[in-house]
Structure 1
Amino acid sequence: MSQALAMDESERADSIRLIRESAAAVAPRGGDLRRIRALRFEEPGFDPAVWREMADLGWVGLRVPEEKGGAGLGMGAFCALAEELGAALVPEPLIPAALAAALLAADPAGEAALGQVLGGRLLLAGWQERADTLEAPGSLDAPRLFVPMAAGAEGFLVPVREGGRLTLRLLPREAADLAIDQTQDGGNYGTLRAAPDFTGGKLVAADLGGALDAALDEAALATSAYLLGAMEAAFAMTLAYLKTRQQFGRPIGSFQALQHRAADLKVQLSLTRASVEGAAAQLDAGLTGAARRAVVSRAKARAAEASMLVTRQAVQLHGGIGYTDEYDVGLYLRKAMVLANQFGSARLHRKRFMALSPEAVEE
């Protein structure tokens, strides 16, 4: 390894370590979840003051180039941050906001709105026209579905196909025909209904090119990291319970059958971490094209399936108390149920991985 490359790796490791440490200001590992519980099933579903603090810390622009006002850090740092937020079940919509920032950074016309987003104004992208897809056709008259935490948005960024190009239009909240539905974890999704179409919004990007595809892949990978953090926290809570819950005069964690189940879950966590961190490192190393999309899909498919397995098993290993809403372990399952399909389900990403990288299936 050359000295320059070793220095780059050292700098990358330092940035990841520092971002994990900064996350403790908002999402301390092992903290109680009273704040999370208080925000559930209430609009907007997150704390605007905490959201502004996250913006002040520079998290929204973590991936935005420095010359555009961001931090210019890599996916390794962004995934490390998302993992810490997942461990604390932070509801503030950082990943969707970072997606919006990436789209605005793609065109000089979006600079004014980008500055507002980096400063804490919540603009969210409404790109999805049908369930379980990463495609954004940009139809003029199709509703935009599943906008995360839309109840707190100040405006919406809507990709629209115009003149053969995918443009981006900013639709203010007051001009949007918006429907809000609650989600299993206590948050919400929004549906933007076209009335009659989205061309009334301000044009903030004349041609997104491949920026939307790249940003959606990064959002999918960051969501994988969030799920990794959530399942690790649920697993840690479960191990602590197995070590303290007594039955027949000894901790239930001493029972071999439960040890085997816990070991299986640990394997799932290790494989997911390797997949997520490996994908982030490859993106930071400059991976492009089909190979880039393939490693993202591998990570998202694994994180989606593993998070559901680990959090379900965590609830079961707690016995009857795990099924009560008052006990925190169930909150992790609820979060996994919502995020496992966000930015593509395991099924979608497995299919995409097989199409992009058929030789990997043989490994």
Structure 2
Amino acid sequence: MSTSPAEDRAESLRMIRDSVAAIVPSDGGLGRVRGLRFTLPGIDPAVWRSIGEMGWIGLRLPEGDGGIGLGMSEACALYEELGRALVPEPLIDASLSARLLAASGDDGLLAPLLAGESLVLTAWQESADSLEAPGDAGATRLFIPMAAAAQAFLLPVREAGELALYAIEGARPAVLKTQDGGHFGSLAADTGGARRVAHDVAEAMELALDEAALGTAAYLLGLMERCFEMTLDYLRQRQQFGKALGSFQALQHRATDLKIQIVLTRASVEGAAADLDAGADGDARRALVSRAKARAADAALRVTREAVQLHGAIGYTDEFDIGLFLRRAMVVANRFGSSALHRGRYMRCVAQPASG
């Protein structure tokens, strides 16, 4: 029996979502996440290998580059499921590195990265709240997620008007732990012992950063949706004055407001992913990504904060899982640009030139 393109896409998305069960407990338990908090390197090498074996790191790359050639819609479905489980392995960042290495044609680092045998991270950020890689040769690179787990780093450096790409292996970045139990690394931009792997990756870098920003929005969507579901379950079960908390109209109104935020975020993320798959580029792509990321960042912080409040005093304890979602949202929300940065970028991208 033949199927339509829409049905094929729906089946592809379902299979991507189902594949996450390979690394996430069937009951949604967060024991593994808790066990990795505030440890170094902060990820599970066995899980990272599984991620590579399933093809997730190269999910967006063409088959000719060792990837599986799926769309941004599939990538966002995957990231959403990882957000629901608070998976700490830096797949979005590794996928960014994979795109740069594929553009460079250097298979020496790309093949083991795609296989999950190594972790390669890109040290692109030079200041807080940015979505550009200036490539300043003298600038320390900041906010490299889970940097202690990486075997190599990619360093974009501006040379003669182009964005060259260097590979640094064996570096030991300075590490600063974050409130969700992970860490950021900082790395001196020293190309003395580095190997240049590409003369110009400016175009690939811009696309990779946009895809990472949209992927982060999808991760936040999954995170807030799971957090909201847990909160609804709590409101149905917790009794006060002989009634379930969820029966009180004031709490129902608050829950409805949060549900609206999640639905609007889903529409924005899925719409942006579909338009990118349809070929949106330039300012159109940037506007779509920024609209989704701005909404996801604001909504995730609102949903997780109110979820903790709706749980009452127990929600503020470290032993109760709901707080893990708020801590993770507070760290991830500004990754690849804050909501303020993306609102500004959106306005610049959609602004119409003044008429004469």
TM-score of the two chains, using structure 2 as the length reference: 0.96
Q: Give distance in 2, aligned partners of 1:26 and 1:76.
A: 21
> Deviations 1:170-190 (Å, cap 9, x if unpaired)?
1012xx352000011100100
CA offset digits 1:125-151 (Å, max 9, x no partner): 000011101111111111000001101
Q: Alignment partner of 1:140: what SS? A: coil
What is the identity, as a one-letter code, of the residue corresponding to 1:347? A
Equivalent-residue separation in structure 2 for 1:226 and 1:30 (angstroms): 19
* 2:82 aligned with 1:53: no
* Alpha-carbon shift at residue 250 of structure 1 (Å): 0.7
Q: Which amino acid aligns with 1:147?
A: I
Give the alignment partner of residue 221 of structure 2, picking from 214, 219, 228: 228
Within the candidate set 8, 27, 35, 1:38 is matched to 35
Is residue 244 of structure 2 the alignment partner of residue 251 of structure 1? yes
Per-residue CA shift, 1:109-139, capped at 9, x if unaligned? Answer: x222111210111010000011101111111
1:112 matched to 2:112: no
Say whether 1:65 aligns with 2:62: yes
SS in 2 for 1:161: strand
Aligned residues: percent identity? 61
Q: Among 297, 307, 322, which residue is 1:329 paired with?
A: 322
Match of 2:269 in 1: 276
Task: Check the 8 A contact 2:166/2:197 in 1, yes or no.
Answer: yes
Deviations, residues 32-88 of structure 1 (Å, cap 9, x unaligned)? 111110100000111111111111111100011101110100000000000000000
Counterpart contact for 1:74–1:284, Cα < 8 Å? yes
- Whether 1:205 and 2:198 are equivalent positions in the alignment is yes
What is the CA–CA distance in structure 2 between the aligned matches of 1:178 and 1:188, rounded to whole Å? 11
Distance 2:156 2:191 in 1: 9
C-alpha displacement of 1:29? 6.3
Residues 148 and 172 of structure 2 are in contact (CA less than 8 Å); yes or no, is this contact kept in structure 1?
no
Q: Which runs of 5+ in 1 are unaligned?
A: none
Q: Which amino acid aligns with 1:252?
A: L
* RMSD between aligned residues: 1.4
Q: Does the alignment pair 1:75 with 2:68?
A: no
Gaps in structure 2 of 5+ consecutive residues: none
State the AA in 2 paired with 1:157.
L
The residue that corresponds to 1:216 in the other structure is 209
Match of 2:183 in 1: 188
- For these two proteins, the number of residue pairs brought into alignment is 350
2:246 touches 2:252 (CA, 8 Å); kept in 1? yes
* 1:63 to 1:199, Cα distance in 2 relative to 1, 3 A: farther
SS of 1:70's partner is coil
Q: In structure 1, what residue type is equivalent to 2:178?
A: T
Partners of 2:141 and 2:78 in 1: how far apart?
28
Where 1:106 maps in the other structure, the secondary structure is helix
Question: Residue type of the partner of 1:229?
Answer: G
Counterparts of 1:56 and 1:253, CA distance in 2:
43
| Cα contact 1:29–1:87 (8 A) shared by 2 | no
**Residues 199 and 288 of structure 1, relative CA distance in 2, 3 Å threshold:** farther
- Report the alpha carbon displacement of residue 26 of structure 1 after superposing the two structures with TM: 1.2
Give 1:337-352 correspondences, 5 Å limit: 337-352=330-345
Contact 2:163–2:201 (Cα < 8 Å) also in 1: yes
Query: Take 1:281 and 1:212, find their aligned partners in 2: how far apart are those partners?
Result: 21
Paired amino acid for 1:341:
N
Whether 1:133 aligns to 2:130 is yes
> What residue identity is the alignment partner of 1:118?
L
